[in-house]
């Protein structure tokens, strides 16, 4: 038999002779610290095998889970012999990854949810020793452009865990919708969680569907998802995006907007009433920077921090046009009062106010690479040392941030934006931006070559970003995310030299697991008929066009 085809790739795998057969006598045991992992493994194996898999007493037979502090936190060993299976991890997370590998050593049908008959639940005898290259192995998910119900988010978390990914960057607010209940400001969801219509397609020929869209998570939903993720060793980094991408909030609470003047028009006495966005893009309607707006968002973040126990709290910061601030006398007055030289510094000031609040609560701020802009001059507020930069406009932000001593998460759009088209076939549905095929994504390298080893230590890892303007259902998310996420997971986990042929061979087998799990991935042959969107326009770009745009917009941080 050939070596088992594990994905992500493991550091060391050696074959021994024989196999362990799961049967009615198999028990699963572990110390008290691992009761959750024992329960998870039982829940994963019982329905599909039909075996009782009772708790064992740790006598070394059956499947034994254990901790070994000498291993890396997320490192683990799996030893399979005909007499039993032993999974040892540095922490419960490591044991969990060992348990995921145990599932991959079983036939792919193990990823089904109910009894599969006629399968021998046999695990080849092996020794696996493994630990990840990076501590931040993530996926970003935009649930604002298209809402994803909590049960589908939890399904994606299961799929992340299967790929030994550990961080979900959850993009919860946007121009087109606010998705998290905030008790102090109920209109954020009663008003801000729905829109009248949605753009269909991209580019000048795009249309509207005329169909209301919406949805939000109650705080009880959020607690459920957070706990579900935690049980799978996935930490959620919530994001409330400011000061751009905020039209849903401004619709709900117009005093948050730059409402005192119409752009280029006469002053109006009341805040302007806008509408939750129905088009995709970057819009001039942004937050004002009054102290009352800072206080509002500090209140929002206080509730967010009470719901999300993880270290990082996202404040966005991307793509904030400055036109309204430039033409608004009140904003200009605030800038003078605060000693700020330009609107870039005002944005840095605003992010700084929230960064201070996050830091005072003992957390760390997570923001897009725009949070590097507007610093340095007198009056601009530097970010706290713990602030962490998501480098998305290529890797310029990663280089700049690491050299300034900030931690970095690499998610360059030209390597890991999973909304970008998967091939140059005209059949790809709503094709946007450049082609990011599986091999392109597999080439993702989170650490910029120009960093010194010391600077490179600031690169915590990377994540794939899943923007959902053109993904209007979980089925479409499956199609754009898989199998490209498998490639991202492989390169974030494994530090072995890249080997696309080897990856492809492992993926061929792994797709059987995805089939069993019901994942509607993109086929190498292209979209299946029902995965196409005939007649819906996209906006493809060439690599040259994209590179020119990115060079222009990152000139400030280069």
Give 58: exposed, middle or buried? Use CB within 10 Å, 0-12, 13-18, 19+: middle
Site for ligand ACM, residues 384 to 403, rule: CB under 6 A: 392
The nearer residue to ligand ACM, 133 or 322, going by C-beta atoms, is: 322
The answer to whether residue 170 forms part of the interface with ligand ACM (CB under 6 A) is no
The nearer residue to ligand ACM, 53 or 249, going by C-beta atoms, is: 249
Look at residue 493 and give its three-state secondary structure. helix
Phi, psi of 111 (to 5 degrees): -85, 5
Are 190 and 218 in contact, with CB atoms under 8 Å apart?
no
Rounded-to-integer distance, Cα 221 and Cα 227, Å: 10
The nearer residue to ligand ACM, 370 or 472, going by C-beta atoms, is: 370
Site for ligand ACM, residues 238 to 257, rule: CB under 6 A: none
Phi, psi of 55 (to 5 degrees): -60, 135
The nearer residue to ligand ACM, 373 or 490, going by C-beta atoms, is: 373
Q: Give the C-alpha distances (Å, rounded to integers) separating 218 from 1, 7, 167, 263.
A: 50, 35, 21, 36
Residue linked to tokens 């020929």: 205
Rounded-to-integer distance, Cα 137 and Cα 152, Å: 20
User: Sign of the CA dihedral 9, 12, 15, 16?
Assistant: negative
Which residues 6+ apart lie within 8 Å of 543 measured at CB?
Answer: 414, 434
Q: Annotate 462-484 with DSSP letters as a single string.
A: EEEEE--TT--SHHHHHHHHTTH
The nearer residue to ligand ACM, 175 or 319, going by C-beta atoms, is: 319
Rounded-to-integer distance, Cα 167 and Cα 229, Å: 9
Rounded-to-integer distance, Cα 170 and Cα 474, Å: 15
Which residues 6+ apart lie within 8 Å of 218 measured at CB?
Answer: 181
Q: Which of 74, 318, 373, 414 binds ligand ACM (CB under 6 A)?
A: 318
The encoded tokens of residue 484 equal 């490209």
Are 385 and 522 in contact, with CB atoms under 8 Å apart?
no
Please give the residue whose beta carbon sits closest to ligand ACM in the complex: 318
The nearer residue to ligand ACM, 40 or 280, going by C-beta atoms, is: 280
Rounded-to-integer distance, Cα 306 and Cα 134, Å: 27
The nearer residue to ligand ACM, 325 or 366, going by C-beta atoms, is: 366
Q: Which of 217, 280, 368, 444 binds ligand ACM (CB under 6 A)?
A: 368
H or E stretch at 361? none
Phi, psi of 312 (to 5 degrees): -100, 140
Rounded-to-integer distance, Cα 99 and Cα 65, Å: 9
Are 100 and 107 in contact, with CB atoms under 8 Å apart?
no
The nearer residue to ligand ACM, 86 or 171, going by C-beta atoms, is: 171
The nearer residue to ligand ACM, 125 or 485, going by C-beta atoms, is: 485
Q: Which of 174, 319, 344, 355 binds ligand ACM (CB under 6 A)?
A: 319
Contact letters for ligand ACM, residues 278-317 (x by CB under 6 A): ----------------------------------------
Nearest to 318 by CA among 363, 355, 286: 286
The nearer residue to ligand ACM, 221 or 419, going by C-beta atoms, is: 419
Rounded-to-integer distance, Cα 546 and Cα 41, Å: 45
The nearer residue to ligand ACM, 349 or 392, going by C-beta atoms, is: 392
Q: How far apart are the first and last CA of the chain?
A: 52
The nearer residue to ligand ACM, 146 or 232, going by C-beta atoms, is: 146
Interacting residues with ligand ACM (CB under 6 A):
318-319, 368, 392
């Amino acid at each position: 038999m050939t070596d088992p085809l594990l994905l992500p790739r493991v550091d060391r795998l050696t074959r021994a002779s024989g196999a362990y057969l799961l049967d009615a006598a198999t028990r699963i045991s572990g110390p008290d610290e691992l009761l959750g992992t024992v329960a998870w493994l039982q829940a994963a194996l019982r329905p599909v095998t039909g075996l009782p898999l009772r708790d064992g007493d740790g006598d070394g037979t059956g499947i034994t889970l254990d901790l070994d502090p000498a291993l890396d936190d997320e490192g683990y060993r799996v030893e399979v012999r005909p007499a039993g299976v032993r999974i040892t991890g540095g922490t419960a997370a490591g044991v969990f990854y060992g348990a995921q590998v145990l599932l991959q050593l079983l036939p792919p049908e193990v990823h089904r949810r109910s009894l599969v008959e006629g399968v021998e639940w046999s695990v080849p005898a092996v020794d696996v020793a493994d630990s990840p290259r990076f501590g931040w192995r993530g996926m970003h998910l935009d649930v604002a452009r298209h809402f994803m119900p909590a049960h589908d988010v939890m399904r994606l978390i299961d799929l992340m865990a299967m790929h030994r990914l550990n961080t979900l960057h959850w993009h919860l607010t946007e121009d087109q919708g606010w998705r998290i209940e905030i008790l102090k400001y109920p209109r954020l969801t009663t008003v801000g969680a729905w829109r009248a219509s949605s753009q269909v397609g991209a580019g000048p020929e795009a249309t509207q569907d005329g169909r209301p869209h919406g949805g939000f998570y109650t705080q009880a939903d959020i607690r459920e998802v957070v706990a579900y993720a935690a049980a799978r060793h996935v930490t959620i980094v919530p994001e409330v995006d400011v000061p751009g991408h905020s039209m849903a909030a401004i619709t709900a609470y117009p005093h948050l907007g730059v409402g005192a003047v119409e752009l280029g028009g006469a002053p109006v006495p009341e805040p302007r009433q806008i509408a939750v966005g129905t088009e995709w893009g970057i819009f001039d309607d942004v937050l004002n920077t009054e102290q009352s707006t800072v206080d509002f968002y500090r209140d929002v973040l206080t509730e967010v921090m009470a719901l999300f126990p993880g270290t990082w709290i996202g404040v966005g910061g991307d793509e904030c046009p400055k036109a309204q601030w430039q033409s608004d006398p009140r904003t200009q007055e605030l800038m003078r009062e605060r000693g700020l030289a330009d609107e870039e510094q005002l944005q840095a000031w605003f992010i700084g106010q929230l960064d201070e609040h996050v830091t005072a609560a003992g957390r760390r701020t997570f923001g897009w690479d725009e949070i590097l802009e507007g610093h340095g001059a007198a009056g601009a507020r530097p970010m706290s040392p713990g602030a962490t930069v998501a480098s998305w406009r290529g890797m310029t932000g990663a280089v700049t941030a690491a050299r300034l001593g900030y931690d970095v998460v690499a998610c360059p759009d030209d390597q890991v934006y999973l909304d970008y088209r998967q091939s140059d076939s005209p059949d790809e549905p709503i094709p946007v931006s450049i082609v990011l095929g599986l091999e392109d994504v597999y080439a993702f390298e989170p650490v910029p070559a120009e960093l010194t080893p010391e600077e490179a230590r600031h690169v915590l890892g990377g994540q794939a970003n899943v923007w959902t303007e053109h993904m209007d259902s979980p089925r479409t998310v499956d199609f754009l995310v898989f199998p490209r996420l498998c490639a991202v997971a492989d390169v974030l986990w494994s530090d072995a030299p890249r080997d696309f042929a080897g990856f492809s061979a492992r993926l061929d087998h792994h797709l059987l697991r995805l089939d069993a799990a019901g994942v509607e991935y993109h086929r190498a042959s292209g979209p299946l008929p029902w995965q196409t969107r005939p007649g819906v326009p996209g906006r493809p770009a060439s690599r040259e066009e994209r590179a020119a745009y990115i060079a222009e917009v990152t000139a400030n941080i280069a």
